[in-house]
Structure 1
Amino acid sequence: MEYKWIALSNVLIASLMGMVNMSIVLISLPAIFNGIHIDPLNSFQYLLWILMGYGLVTATLLLSFGRLSDIYGRVKLFKLGFLVFTVASVLLYFTPSTGNAGALEIIIFRILQAIGSALFMANTSAILTDAFPVTERGKALGLNMVALMSGQFIGLILGGILAMYDWRFVFLVSVPFGIVGTIWSSLKLKETSIKSPKTKLDIWGNAIFILGITLLLVGVTYGLMPYKNDPMGWSNPWVVLSAVAGLIFLIIFPFVERRVEYPMFNLKLFRIKMFTFANSAALLNALGRGGMMFMLILLLQGIWLPLNGYSYESTPFWAGIYMLPLTAGVIIMGPISGWLSDKYGPRWIATFGMVINTVAFLMLAALPYNFDYAYFAFALLLMGIGSGMFGSPNSASIMNSVPANERGVASGMMTTVMNTAFTASMAMFFTIVIVGITQRYPDAVIASLTAIGAVKLAPLLNSIPPTGALFSAFLGYNPIGSIISSLPPSVAAMIPPATQTTLEGTTWFPQTFATAFMPSLRISFYIGAALSLGAAVLSALRGENYIHDDEPEIIKAEKGRGK
């Protein structure tokens, strides 16, 4: 087997494993929380850290690992990533505690998983770029894009299936991938990169960047949690201090990088037009798309599926099934766009992909809460096609534009930009939704209770905090039953049986929540459309295809090695 296909197979296993792990948790949270006996209404902080902690840690480490791979070799760090990820997956499967302690253990083990993920994610694009000639890189990166997106949706379906049996299986499923990847990469993957052994690790740059991005994202995360009588934490002085301090460190970061001898974030690469515009387009695309998955799952699990007769217990599985058109679009266009990019250049393929994404976001913004599925599926298919057209050409143009000995840090920079934007996007959409629900949910409850002649229950049901309503909808969980069961028997007896049946059914809470949620959903999709349009403009401005001028020497070296 040619070495380039060995390299591709290793990268595909890593990408598939990483994305399955990310999305399988997203869809399996109801089973995980039930398994460790956590009350969904009072555990919003654990939801945020399980969802966002993984991305936060990955985003902070990618740059450092990218630079380390240029110094010590990409394959060494890549193989270490497989091993660390596998160990963390085993620990997650054996999570010993329940309650708050169990949730904290899951968060800690997920952080360890994120370290492993950062080790191989920082090097996947660089390994493919080293292994494939310039005329085939778009195709290789396109196949990797298919693995990434397929893994995302395989995780949704697997999570729905495995969660019905045992929540621990959700974490165990990553272990075979990790074992196979560790063995296969150790036996077959070899170091072909041009190392920079004289380069030193940028200690000051690493410290300032990690501190800055961590403080900023921690501040944003806790800003989404209730504080005293406020539904969100933006008035919390510690949140403000954390976010401001993080911004200050990130502002200082580029000035430090200009002075150190071997910067971790090579600002000189931004002199390359293709590198700058392609990364900027990737940033806007990730900002628009990062929170989209959360919004769509919220819409399906919390509103559409219960309204269409699905039990709350089954909504995680069916949400994964109904989002398959998005995967289909990426699978169709990922390899095709990579091949077209190799032949005609990435500029207009990536640009048109973002234009299609813009149209898809506008279509989603026009949805009613009880939509026709055919329309929804077509919008998702367009979104997948647009994402597939943009991803591999954009990545190929970034990696082709840099010197060979900077590919590790360039891959780390590219992935850092996208992961940070994904995490920031989640926080942005959370904020939009929580603000909207806070303003509209009490009135929606009163209107819904008036319609069934139970307006006297309004003070009781308005006691559900906005974050609790959001969390419940996200988990496909009706909180009304828990509230009624917690009432004193004398109070619960005053609720007519017919009213109680209506409140605990599959339609009252989704319809009430939809009234408060849909305006915020539309705002988020309009923002996604604007960001996608901005990415399209930046893609068009990147110029024609550019390949760094050390590439002819690399091609000669590849021929000499018999690739």
Structure 2
Amino acid sequence: MKKIDYKWTALSCTTLGALFSVLSGSTLLIALPSIMKDLHTSMSIVTWTIMGYMLVMTILVPSIGRMADMVGRKKLYVSGFAVFTLTSILCSISQTGLQLLVFRMIQAVGGALMVANSTAIVADAFPKRELGKALGINSMIICVASVAGPILGGFLISIGWRSIFYINIPIGIIGTFWAAFKLKETKVPFEKQKFDINGTVAFSAGMLALLTALTLGGFSGWFNIYVLTLFLVAIILLTLFVKIENTVEAPMLDLRLLKTRVLAFAFAANFLNGVARGAVTFLLIFYLQGVKGVDPMLAGILLSPFAIAMMIVSPFSGWLSDKYGVRILSSVGLLISAVGLAGLMIIKPDTPIIELIIWMSIMGFGSGMFFAPNTSAIMGGVPADKRGIAAGLRTMLTNAGMVLSIAICMAIISSSISPDAMQALFVGSQVGGQGIATGQFITGLRTAFTLCFVFSLLAAFISYLRGPSAVWEEEEEEKEDRVYN
């Protein structure tokens, strides 16, 4: 197969993986109230099926990215597809909320293997001048999954929430074999590389402590002794990690990536955008199924404008970034997202659905302008042997931002409404003003959206501060000649 043709094959493999993982997550999100009622489990357990998955992904992707740079991306990506498929079977037969949580966290290992390698595989296959377009197409497919997921989830709930995992099985089998037979290693891993075990252990333990503290703080209070202890442990371990990375010959995370201005600000904007939008869908599910009293399928349809707008814009923004650069495009995109969040700041119990659709569409338009160009700036700004690390770091920061977003917003909501009322609201057993403090909940919701708005503005400011493109010792033309000729 010619290299010029292989790039589209590689894109098809990674796109199928993205479709697989995003579809699984978005269908599950809309099904959480049904799972909670059917398994007779607590709200904290079902929330952790989402949070725990993101936590494991956040911890693992940087070290997996480094491992991929050492041993190659294909075998890890294919393994991730297989693990994700197998754990979908296990999730479908879960009998308790705790079982589902455990299987979901194992599933996150498969997700991390796919996500940490997919962007790097695309970056290896496409020349830099076409990378924005390729990532834009990839983002568009992710948006399709984001649109279809909640609607499909709402439909599948009428059959039974377990069918959400059943549908993963044929997709996973096809994707595993397609990647196994079609993907190639486009670069030979460097020989005699050492894996940074000490740095990996310090980083993984430190991030686990930090993200657990952020998550628990949102539910049990930020001044809880266990939360404060976890924060202290995280600070110590992550400080030790930085010291290790600055002394070892082959670090797990090359901190030079953060010393280059354009990359540092691109990564920071990625993280802040995760904080800005991570909790939005989660909060709107509360609002639509609790306050508005709509059924899961309609809730899924009503959540789709965000993803539809993003789906339309992403390919064009990627193409535009290839021609005109990233800085203005991504920064304006974040400002547009902030406008959508500003509209949600004035949400009321009787806010018309059409108004919600407008604000979500604006948010999706802005996000579509940001994602592909910013990812292209990151992946096109690092040498080939650092792409796994860069992709892993980008995913880690996005997920960390989303974990922080949900934790903080849940803390805000929890402080405005009693736990019993929140649980009743979540499962839809009490809607509107029937037995829940609707006014207090809406106040908390507005406060949460206001915080998201502030972080979106901050992300836009940081994005604009990025400097000129990174220059590495390896010339781009030489790299492209090696890959394509």
The bucket for the TM-score relative to the shorter chain is over 0.9
Partner Cα distance (1:357, 1:237) in 2: 37
Counterpart of 1:121 in structure 2 is 115
Partner Cα distance (1:426, 1:30) in 2: 17
Counterpart of 1:272 in structure 2 is 260
Deviation at 1:54, TM superposition (A): 0.3
Counterpart of 1:484 in structure 2 is none
Q: Does 1:172 align with 2:131?
A: no
Q: Does 1:521 align with 2:445?
A: yes
Q: 1:291 touches 1:426 (CA, 8 Å); kept in 2?
A: yes
Q: Does 1:35 align with 2:38?
A: yes
Counterpart of 2:421 in structure 1 is 469
Counterpart of 1:295 in structure 2 is 283
1:407 maps to which of 373, 387, 390 = 387
**Compared CA separation, residues 369 and 252, structure 1 to 2 (3 A):** farther
Counterpart of 1:200 in structure 2 is 194
Counterpart of 2:84 in structure 1 is 85
Deviation at 1:149, TM superposition (A): 2.7
Q: 1:31 touches 1:164 (CA, 8 Å); kept in 2?
A: no
User: Can you list the C-alpha shifts for 1:32-57, whole angstroms capped at 9, x where unaligned?
Assistant: 22332x15xxx133123212110011
The structure whose Rg is larger is 1
Q: TM-score, normalised by structure 2?
A: 0.95
Mapping of residues 374-393 of structure 1, within 5 Å: 374-393=354-373
2:179 maps to which of 185, 207, 221 = 185
Deviation at 1:272, TM superposition (A): 1.8
Counterpart of 1:440 in structure 2 is none
Deviation at 1:473, TM superposition (A): 1.8
Q: 1:24 touches 1:158 (CA, 8 Å); kept in 2?
A: yes
Deviation at 1:132, TM superposition (A): 0.7
Deviation at 1:64, TM superposition (A): 0.8
Structure 1 unmatched runs, 5+ = 226-231, 438-465, 479-505
Counterpart of 2:483 in structure 1 is 558
Partner Cα distance (1:357, 1:236) in 2: 34
Task: Output the amino acid matched with 1:271.
Answer: K
Q: Which shifted more, 113-122 or 290-299?
A: 290-299
Kindly tell me the number of residue pairs found equivalent between the two proteins. 481
Counterpart of 1:536 in structure 2 is 460
Deviation at 1:237, TM superposition (A): 2.6
Mapping of residues 208-357 of structure 1, within 5 Å: 208-225=202-219, 232-234=220-222, 236-304=224-292, 306=293, 310=294, 315-357=295-337
Counterpart of 1:441 in structure 2 is none
Partner Cα distance (1:469, 1:431) in 2: 15
2:349 maps to which of 369, 374, 381 = 369
1:148 maps to which of 128, 142, 146 = 142
Deviation at 1:342, TM superposition (A): 0.7
Partner Cα distance (1:17, 1:345) in 2: 30
Counterpart of 2:58 in structure 1 is 59
Task: Output the amino acid matched with 1:17.
Answer: F
Q: 1:23 touches 1:155 (CA, 8 Å); kept in 2?
A: yes
Partner Cα distance (2:52, 2:326) in 1: 33
Deviation at 1:194, TM superposition (A): 4.4
Partner Cα distance (1:388, 1:367) in 2: 23
Identity of aligned residues (%): 37
Deviation at 1:146, TM superposition (A): 1.7
Structure 2 unmatched runs, 5+ = none
Deviation at 1:233, TM superposition (A): 4.5
Q: 2:46 touches 2:101 (CA, 8 Å); kept in 1?
A: no
Deviation at 1:532, TM superposition (A): 1.1
Q: How large is the Cα RMSD of the aligned pairs?
A: 1.7
2:320 counterpart SS class: helix
Partner Cα distance (2:332, 2:432) in 1: 40
Q: 1:74 touches 1:193 (CA, 8 Å); kept in 2?
A: no
Deviation at 1:514, TM superposition (A): 2.3
Counterpart of 1:487 in structure 2 is none
Mapping of residues 473-492 of structure 1, within 5 Å: 473-478=425-430
Task: Output the amino acid matched with 2:236.
Answer: I
